Amino acid sequence: MRSIVHRLLSRPLRLPAMFGPKPQPGDPQIFRFNSEREEIITEVVRRTEEHFAADPKRLLYALNEAGHAEIRRLAGQGDAEADLALGSWRRLVKRLGKMSHEERSDSLRSISRVMVEDIAGNFDPRVYNLSARLIPGVLTAVMNPMGLPTQLLAGGFSQLDALISAEGPIDKLRRLAQIGTLVLVPTHSSNLDSVALGYVLLRANLPPVVYGAGRNLFSNPLISFFMHNLGAYRVDRRVSAAVYKEALKTYSCLMVERGYHSLFFPGGTRSRSGTIERRLKLGLAGTAVEAFSRNQTNGLHRPVFFVPATLNYALVLEAETLIEDHLKGAGQARYIIDDDEFSRIDRIYAFMTKLVTLRSALVVRFGDAMDPFCNPVDDEGRSIAPSGQPVDPGSYVRRRGVPSVDPARDAGYTRELGDAIARVYQRETVIIWTQLVAHVLYRYLVWSTPELDLFSRQRRRGEVAMPREQLVREVADARDRLLQAEAEGRVHVGPVLRSQSPERIVSEALSAWRDYHTKVVATEVGDDVLIEDPNLLLFYQNRLLPWAEELATEETLAAARSIVNQGGKA
């Protein structure tokens, strides 16, 4: 029964017209995706074949590598579907040496076609319109069932607006979306990030985006249904074959070329340690630079605007698993975590139930847009050079006056773009009250145990207690220093930190942790706050690493420096 339900929900939905109008001329490009889907797939297959088949040796190597990679993967999968595919791959590997170049090209074409069919998304405007009506109500019902009738009578869902806020140049982004292609590049803390961003874009009247989602996220039938119908394309990180990676990269590039607003997480995976991402490789996001170059060579001068954004949570759904993975050093090896809190309905329910009690549970802050070459853009979408004068971004991809696609050159631009986005992340981060309280508590733990290294300190559970009065006092001092940094344009401070008393900030942080996390983070014992789980404190306080030293007093400066040093090694 479960497999039948999964198959039904995984199919594109066929809704009657009453659920929404057909695509109109002024609609975002994504509303026309289904009519272009076959053409897009065919073009991706053609380019993938062209990439490998021009050189017979390269073609042979690519097919052989794909065959052996898939045989290894499928042999470890151990199910009927894998066994069926295994036979095909084994037969291909055996026949490769006897095949002609044309036969190998045909095989590559067939293989890439299957891969791209699996990657390619789907978009149903009627599902989008339906979700626009239903999702706020569904989320409100899940988060606060008793409040649903009140929200319906009031004609809106203001509770979600209080929980999730959006900041930044949103009016400007709406204008830029009409001029060119937006490429959103946010920080990545949770598997809920794409859901939260989708809601924020919808509420802010910004266009929907296409985005790559790990295949593991499609295992939940309900979430998979919406992903299948709202523009997500599938990224199977288990598949290591170069042919697959080329097809995925080409699909991503082609979507930007065609003007589909896109979303990429340039850090690649969720931040295991809770820190703001600093070393960005961009990955698929780099295909947007290539897309700009390709359009220029084809005489299409559509701008591409990169839009950094930070997602700042009071609580992180998967915090316990992520920080444990980080401290074990498993983050690099275990790229896909399929057993975290996101995979468990009870943990999602507990998270949502607690989230509704918080003020400003999530702040999404958009940074200013930049072109693919790190130049800021004005309200009309013009690139502005360091001199302050407008500059033609197309000039960056011309050689002797002629636009060209140059992978080595574009890779250099992509690296520079990654550095620029990382700088924006730090500037546009919004510090949340749970992070500040965690930082002050963790700093006290470090101050109390100067002789210990990171891993020895993390084992000091329930042994160190900070006087509550001192905790409140140091939170007040650190908050004032953050407000000064905000006034200088170096960070942003969340509304709870700005508006509530230090006493209330401490109380709300302790309550937030206590009522969601399965592990006790810190607990009040008499006049003290006992540190119970240094791991979770480390995760939340890591967001403040760039400002740790300037938040310190003279007495706590050595502890703050120790925190910064251990963060640099992490």
Q: pLDDT of the chain along its 570 residues, tens only?
A: 334 334 433 444 444 443 344 555 557 788 889 899 999 999 999 999 999 998 999 999 999 999 999 999 988 887 777 778 888 999 999 999 999 999 999 999 999 999 999 999 888 877 777 766 665 544 444 333 334 344 433 444 455 667 888 999 999 999 999 999 999 999 999 988 988 898 899 889 999 899 888 877 776 666 677 777 777 898 998 899 999 999 999 999 999 999 999 999 998 888 999 999 998 888 888 999 999 999 999 999 999 999 999 999 999 988 999 999 899 884 454 445 656 666 666 777 677 677 666 777 899 999 999 999 999 999 999 999 999 999 999 999 999 899 999 999 999 999 999 999 999 999 999 999 999 999 999 999 999 999 999 989 999 999 999 999 999 999 999 999 999 999 999 999 999 999 999 999 999 999 999 988 989 999 999 999 999 999 999 999 999 999 999 999 999 999 999 999 987 544
* 188 contact partners, CB below 8 Å, separation of at least 6: 265, 267, 268, 269, 270, 271, 277, 311
Contact 322, 316 (CB under 8 A): yes
Q: What pLDDT score was predicted for residue 563? A: 93
Residue among 186, 202, 184 at smallest CA distance from 139: 202
Which pair of structure tokens corresponds to residue 545?
């690493």
Q: Which SS3 state, helix, strand or coil, does residue 286 take? A: helix
* 550 contact partners, CB below 8 Å, separation of at least 6: 481, 485
DSSP output for 469-538: HHHHHHHHHHHHHHHHHHHTTS-EE-HHHHHS-HHHHHHHHHHHHHHH-SS--EEEETTEEEE--HHHHH
The residues that bridge with 211 in the sheet, in sequence order, are 232, 263
Instruction: Give the amino acid at 168.
Output: G
Residue 518 main-chain phi, psi, to 5 deg: -70, -25
Angle in degrees, CA 385, 391, 393, rounded to 5: 105
Contact 183, 305 (CB under 8 A): yes
Whole-angstrom distance, CA of residue 247 vs CA of residue 59 = 14
Residue among 474, 509, 510, 478 at smallest CA distance from 493: 478
Whole-angstrom distance, CA of residue 389 vs CA of residue 382 = 10
Which pair of structure tokens corresponds to residue 221?
């039938």
